[in-house]
């Protein structure tokens, strides 16, 4: 059986009537930017996250960048970021003109390790930017305790965790602001790039609204040096339809993750994800680790199982940050994760047969590798 890593078409097939109706609503309205669909989505998603405000923007990177700009974090400032994450987290800081300061992650969860934060706080530190990586919340209370001690802002990177809960509270409303991505492959995905900012802060929300639209609060009156980062009406309409199914789809992901965790326990060499008691992940990705990751991936490919690596190069070793002067060994936990992580197929439309095929293929491939090593 062929099991692709991810299929997006089934989301449309399941919601065909709702998606087609959303398309017709927008086309017939004659409004394609800043219309009723965006207004409605912003209200609905803010309520979903438990935040006072939601501001739709062009993508998840812009969401983080505009938060930093709205907080007037820029040249001369430092922002603490995880050592291993998708590079957009770091790029947002760089776009604002500030300096990303990496802190090692917890090797069990790949999320920012709160106990390492104190050592990274300096006189130029302005904010901490934790990532809810792979759909699992970071330890926000511990992170906020450090932030409050030093007068720092906390900005959540919620790109992979729409609907996740930390101690019963949804991510996206646990810091001063949060950036969200609705890239098509996300748990809540648009049919193009799209993103959002959520916050309780009235002033920050007002600045982000202006910054996303050329710095304008009134048409052709520009109070700030802004940007063009606007969620269009089509994406807002599609996201409204998907938002109504998000909890159901996340629950399907949880059932698949539970089956993987049960059935893959004891696989030779395989390290399964660790979930703290206070976390309710939404399993954007199901990421295992293996010392022979590349060979395991090849064997799974030969068995018809698609996988991806999230992420093979930690930001500090990327060409984009070569000017930082970091060498291999600077952040050993991030580097170890990059060398060993492998994402198995995960999504709300995987069938039971496909899940069982993945489990069987992982067992067979891992046992074969163990035998070869022995």
**225 φ, ψ to 5°?**
-80, 95
Which pLDDT belongs to residue 6?
A: 95
User: Which is nearest to 55 in space by CA: 194, 156, 262, 250?
Assistant: 194
* Chain centre to alpha carbon of residue 262: 25
Q: Which two tokens stand for residue 114?
A: 């709160």
What is the pLDDT, as a whole number, of residue 354? 98
Listed as ranges, residues in the chain with pLDDT below 50 are: none
140/16 Cα distance (integer angstroms): 38
Torsion 319-66-58-48 (CA) sign: positive
At 238, list the tokens.
Answer: 């599609």
Query: pTM of the entire structure?
Result: 0.97
**The predicted structure's pLDDT at residue 125:** 98
CB 153 within 8 A of CB 125: no
For residue 56, the surrounding DSSP H or E stretch is strand 53-57
Alpha-carbon span 346 to 344, nearest angstrom: 6
pLDDT for the residue numbered 372: 85
Contact 33, 150 (CB under 8 A): no
Of the candidates 123, 125, 116, 120, the residue with the CA atom closest to the CA atom of residue 152: 125
With a CB cutoff of 8 Å and minimum separation 6, the contacts of 362 are 264, 267, 270, 288, 296, 300, 305, 344
Residue 168 CB-density burial (10 A; 0-12 exposed, 13-18 middle, 19+ buried): exposed
Cα separation, 357 vs 130, in Å, equals: 35
Q: Are 55 and 208 in contact (CB under 8 A)?
A: yes
What DSSP assignment string belongs to 214-282?
TTEEETTEE-S---B---BHHHHHHHHHHHTTHHHHHHHHHHHHHHHHHHSTT-TT-B-----TTEE--
d(CA 193, CA 367) in angstroms, rounded, equals 40
Q: How far is residue 103's CA from residue 118's CA, in Å, rounded to a whole number? A: 10
- Residue 62: which of 34, 89, 44, 98 has the closest Cα? 89
Q: Round to whole Å and give the CA distance between 6 and 210.
A: 36
Q: What is the DSSP letter of 173?
A: S
Sequence-distant (≥ 6) Cβ neighbours of residue 272 within 8 angstroms: 260, 261, 264, 265, 288
C-alpha 231: how far from chain center:
18
| Euclidean distance between CA atoms 169 and 51, whole angstroms | 11
pLDDT given for residue 313 in this prediction: 98
């Amino acid at each position: 059986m062929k099991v692709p890593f991810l299929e997006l078409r089934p989301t449309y097939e399941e919601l065909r009537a709702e998606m087609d109706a959303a398309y017709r609503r927008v086309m017939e309205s004659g409004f394609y930017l800043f219309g009723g669909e965006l207004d409605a989505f912003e209200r609905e998603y803010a309520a979903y996250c438990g935040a006072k405000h939601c501001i739709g923007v062009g993508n998840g990177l812009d969401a983080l960048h505009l938060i930093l700009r709205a907080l007037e974090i820029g040249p001369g400032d430092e922002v603490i970021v995880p050592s291993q994450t998708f590079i957009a987290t770091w790029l947002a800081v760089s776009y604002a003109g500030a300096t990303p300061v990496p802190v090692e992650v917890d090797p069990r969860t790949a999320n920012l390790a709160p106990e390492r934060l104190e050592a990274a706080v300096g006189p130029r530190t302005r904010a901490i930017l934790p990532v809810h990586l792979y759909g699992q919340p970071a330890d926000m209370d511990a992170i906020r305790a450090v932030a409050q001690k030093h007068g720092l802002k906390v900005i959540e990177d919620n790109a992979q965790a729409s609907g996740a809960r930390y101690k019963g509270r949804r991510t996206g409303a646990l810091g001063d602001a949060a950036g969200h991505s609705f890239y098509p492959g996300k748990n809540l995905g648009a049919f193009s790039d799209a993103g959002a900012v959520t916050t309780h802060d009235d002033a920050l929300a007002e600045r982000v609204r202006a910054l996303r639209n050329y710095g304008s609060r009134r048409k052709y009156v520009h109070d700030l040096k802004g940007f063009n980062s606007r969620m269009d009406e089509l994406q807002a309409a599609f996201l409204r339809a998907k938002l109504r199914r998000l909890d159901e789809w996340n629950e399907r992901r949880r059932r698949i993750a539970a089956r993987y965790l049960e059935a893959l326990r004891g696989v030779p060499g395989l390290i399964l994800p660790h979930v703290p008691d206070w976390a309710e992940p939404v399993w954007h990705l199901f990421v295992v680790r293996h010392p022979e990751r590349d060979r395991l991936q090849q064997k799974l490919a030969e068995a018809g199982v698609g996988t991806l690596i999230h992420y093979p190069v930690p930001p500090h070793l990327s060409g984009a940050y070569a000017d930082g002067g970091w060498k291999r060994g600077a952040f050993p936990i991030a580097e170890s994760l990059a060398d060993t992580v492998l994402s198995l197929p995960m999504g709300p439309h995987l069938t039971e047969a496909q899940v069982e095929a993945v489990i069987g293929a992982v067992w067979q491939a891992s046992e074969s590798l163990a035998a070869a090593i022995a």
